[in-house]
């Protein structure tokens, strides 16, 4: 099966699983959904051998000092985390901000609130840590938000995620569209928060920066735009706690001004993402080949 065809098949499979989870998740409380998600993740750990092998290979690069038992335990928990995330996404479609607040701990929201009060847009950066959609929904309560996303291989999955975000007033911008740059600038002028996940190796203008001590291609477009518009960059993260609650942390804003080096700024952001991964290594998507070579896209 060809690469793109296989990717499309996996995307359809994931969407169908999400549709089944949606049917169940609408009818059960959050805590029961999390338990179901953990069980689903445990099943995936045993069944998805290719993804398990990739994750184990990648975490060995990041944590060479760990023994095999530590790596396997972490990747098993990663699968469980992903299963819980799927059920939580369904729950997010059903409940509003007041309901989320009962199971969410917030940290560091005031500096971002003050920035937005000044009427200027900011860039929100994050990674695929914890339940990243939960973090976006929480931070969206502070003001208008637009999320940049790549076009997925399955249109149903694209629609599901877009509608989930739209339910909280979050606008989605297709990263690869011809109008994306104009949309970004328009949102900035409106004083919106522009969200991008910068922890993946994608087909975009990129530079190699250190990630767990090894050079990794990382998109630099966000850093270039933040510098050219002198917009602050604000890291945010979600971390699922052992009791099932979500900790949403907003870190100190990083100022950007004309003349700054976009590669240096991208490296700084990547270091912050790495620090969060080290806080909760079982809550990052280790299946992703972060150190893949893409000569065509390198600066």
Q: Tell me if residue 214 falls in helix, strand or coil.
A: strand
Predicted pLDDT at 97:
76
Spatial contact of 210 and 144, defined as CB atoms under 8 Å apart: no
Structure token digits, residue 153: 């291989």
Instruction: Give the end-to-end CA distance of the chain in Å, rounded to a whole number.
Output: 32
What integer pLDDT is reported at residue 16 of this predicted model?
A: 75
Nearest one of 128, 180, 122 to 151, comparing CA atoms: 180
In this prediction, residue 2 carries a pLDDT of 45
Question: How far is Cα 207 from Cα 263, in angstroms, rounded to an integer?
Answer: 7
Query: Token digits for 219?
Result: 């998109």
pLDDT tens readout for residues 75-95: 999 999 999 998 898 888 777
For the chain, which residues make up each domain, given as ranges? 3-297
- Which ranges in 63-108 belong to alpha helices (H)? 68-94, 97-101
Q: Kindly state the helix (H) or strand (E) to which residue 207 belongs, with its residue range.
A: strand 206-211
Kindly report the pTM of this predicted structure.
0.90
Distances 225 to 182, 202, 219 between C-alpha atoms, Å: 12, 18, 12
**pLDDT value, residue 6:** 56
256-266 pLDDT per residue, tens: 999 999 999 99
Which residues, given as ranges, of the chain have pLDDT below 50? 1-2
């Amino acid at each position: 099966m060809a690469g793109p065809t296989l990717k499309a098949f996996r995307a359809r499979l994931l969407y169908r699983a999400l549709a089944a989870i949606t049917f169940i998740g609408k009818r059960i409380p959050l805590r029961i959904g999390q338990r179901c998600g953990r069980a689903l993740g445990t099943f995936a750990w045993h069944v998805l051998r290719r993804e398990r092998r990739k994750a184990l290979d990648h975490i060995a690069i990041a944590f060479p000092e760990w023994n095999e038992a530590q790596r396997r335990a972490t990747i098993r928990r990663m699968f469980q985390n992903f299963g819980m995330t799927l059920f939580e996404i369904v729950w997010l479609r059903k409940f509003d901000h007041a309901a989320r607040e009962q199971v969410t701990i917030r940290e560091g929201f005031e500096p971002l609130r003050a920035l937005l009060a000044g009427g200027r847009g900011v860039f929100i950066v994050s990674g695929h840590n914890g339940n990243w959609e939960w973090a976006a929904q929480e931070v969206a309560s502070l003001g208008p938000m637009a999320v940049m996303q790549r076009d997925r291989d399955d249109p149903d999955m694209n629609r599901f995620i877009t509608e989930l975000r739209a339910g909280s007033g979050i606008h989605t911008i297709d990263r690869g569209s011809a109008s994306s740059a104009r949309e970004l600038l328009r949102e900035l002028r409106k004083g919106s928060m522009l969200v991008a996940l910068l922890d993946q190796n994608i087909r975009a203008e990129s530079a190699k920066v250190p990630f767990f001590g090894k050079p990794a291609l990382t998109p630099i477009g966000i850093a270039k735009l933040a510098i050219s518009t002198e917009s602050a960059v604000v890291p945010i993260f979600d971390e699922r706690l052992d009791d099932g609650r979500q900790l949403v942390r907003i870190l100190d804003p990083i100022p950007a001004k004309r003349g700054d080096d976009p590669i240096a700024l991208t490296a700084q952001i990547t270091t912050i993402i790495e620090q969060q991964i080290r806080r909760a290594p079982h809550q990052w998507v280790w299946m992703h080949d972060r150190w893949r070579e893409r000569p065509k896209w390198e600066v």
